[in-house]
Amino acid sequence: MQFPIDRFQQQTTPFYYYDLRILQNTLEAAKRAVEEYDNYHLHYAIKANTNPKILKQISLSGFGADCVSGGEIKAALAAGFPASSIVFAGVGKADWEIKLALEAQISCFNVESIPELYVINDLAAEQRVRANIAFRITPNIDAHTNAKITTGLNENKFGIAMEDMVSAVKEAKSLPYINYMGLHFHIGSQILDCSSFAVLSERINELQDQLDAESIKTSSINVGGGLGVDYEHPDEHLIPDFKKYVNTFRQHLKLRSGQQVHFELGRSIVAQCGTLISRILYIKGGHHKKFIILDAGFTDLIRPAMYDAFHLVQNLTTTAQKVEKYDIVGPICESSDVFIKDFNMPEGKRGDLIAFRSAGAYGEIMASQYNCRPLPNSIISE
Ligand SMILES: *Cc1c(COP(=O)(O)O)cnc(C)c1O
């Protein structure tokens, strides 16, 4: 990946840099993976990155939107995603968010509990509309990813247990302001082993057999998101293997006639187009360790502190041949403000530009103002 270093020199650090050409190539690769199949639909999971320029480009590419809050529905609408392509998930939808979604006439609520189903029915009744709903089902699949980002196990807070699915669907079909559309799943994030998606498909097949046995017709199957990216070698794998991912479902998922399949990809769409750029403030030589102290901290990129996530760190300035082992840390007054420990990289000095690669997903959007720090800026490729 090429960076406009001269442009970076004039900027106040830290900031996010987005390469829109990489984003465009990623969007096109995802679209090519589904283009043969009329009933396969791509949504973008808004929560991964809501930078308005990024959202605009994704909406222009014809993606739908997967939202998990009222604020995200507003952001999606403002970026031009049609309401008819918006789905709304989340375990704790507030009344105002449900009302907003009903007024906007979004395409589907992904309902995560029976009490929520009743609230949606009541609020839809007030507006004299019927709400399209799908049930989020917990398929009890271990996605073999970080425990904090796995969502498909019975112990997680998400969705309705498989054994309660048939009664939930019957309940939905009995309510006057609810229109039952289908099933929704999302088993976790940063999943690189497609066998988890094969297992998900088989589980969906079993659930569909149960619904068939009750003569319940289901028009849509939403398999969620979760496709991972290569954080270790971003330049070798800038574009995720969407073909392999989609083909896993093609091979394993048994659809009924007329069924639509929805995907909700977040990370795999935006991770590789974004980089956090910061500067070295100080090099500190401790007795046992050398530290690089940056002007970026977990307020700018929280994934390492929160999930022990790895981001490839590159010094964009130095030409030094000598390699040193560093702990790379931020300025925040918390000992968890560490990006990486014992990392070998070319010798750095005060003022060098440091890049955190693959930071386009769950980066800028998770920034905070802890320690009264300003939120990071963003700049876009030309
Ligand atoms: C977060 C989320 C996604 C996107 O997950 P990625 O791992 O970023 O692809 C999709 N669907 C739902 C319901 C989500 O909560």
Distance (Å) from CA 159 to ligand 1 centroid = 14
Distance CA 232, CA 343 (A): 13
23-48 pLDDT per residue, tens: 999 999 999 999 999 999 999 999 99
95-144 pLDDT per residue, tens: 999 999 999 999 999 999 999 999 999 999 999 999 999 999 999 887 77
Where residue 152 falls among pLDDT bands split at 50, 70, 90? low
- For residues 327 and 291, is the Cβ–Cβ distance under 8 A? yes
Mutate to test the pocket of ligand 1, among 63, 69, 189 (most ligand atoms within 8 A of CB): 189
Ligand 1 atom closest to residue 68's alpha carbon, by position in its atom list: 15
pLDDT surpasses 80 at 155: no
- ∠ CA(40), CA(71), CA(245), 5° rounding? 25
C-alpha radius of gyration, the chain, whole number: 22
Query: Mean pLDDT in the chain?
Result: 96
pLDDT surpasses 70 at 149: no
Residue 307 to residues 72, 150, 172, 264, 272: CA-CA distances in angstroms?
Answer: 23, 12, 37, 22, 18
What is the residue with the minimal CA distance to atom 11 of ligand 1?
A: 224
> What backbone torsions phi and psi does residue 60 show, to the nearest 5 degrees?
-65, -25
- Domains located in the chain, CATH noted: 5-13+272-380 (2.40.37.10), 20-270 (3.20.20.10)
pLDDT given at position 140? 86
192-248 pLDDT per residue, tens: 999 999 999 999 999 999 999 999 999 999 999 999 999 999 999 999 999 999 999
pLDDT given at position 156? 76
Query: For ligand 1, which residues put their CB under 6 angstroms from it?
Result: 45, 47-48, 66, 68, 89, 186, 189, 224-227, 264-268
The H or E element containing residue 134 is strand 131-138
Cite the annotated binding site by residue number. Answer: 226, 264-267, 303, 307, 334, 362
Does 194 participate in catalysis according to the annotation?
no
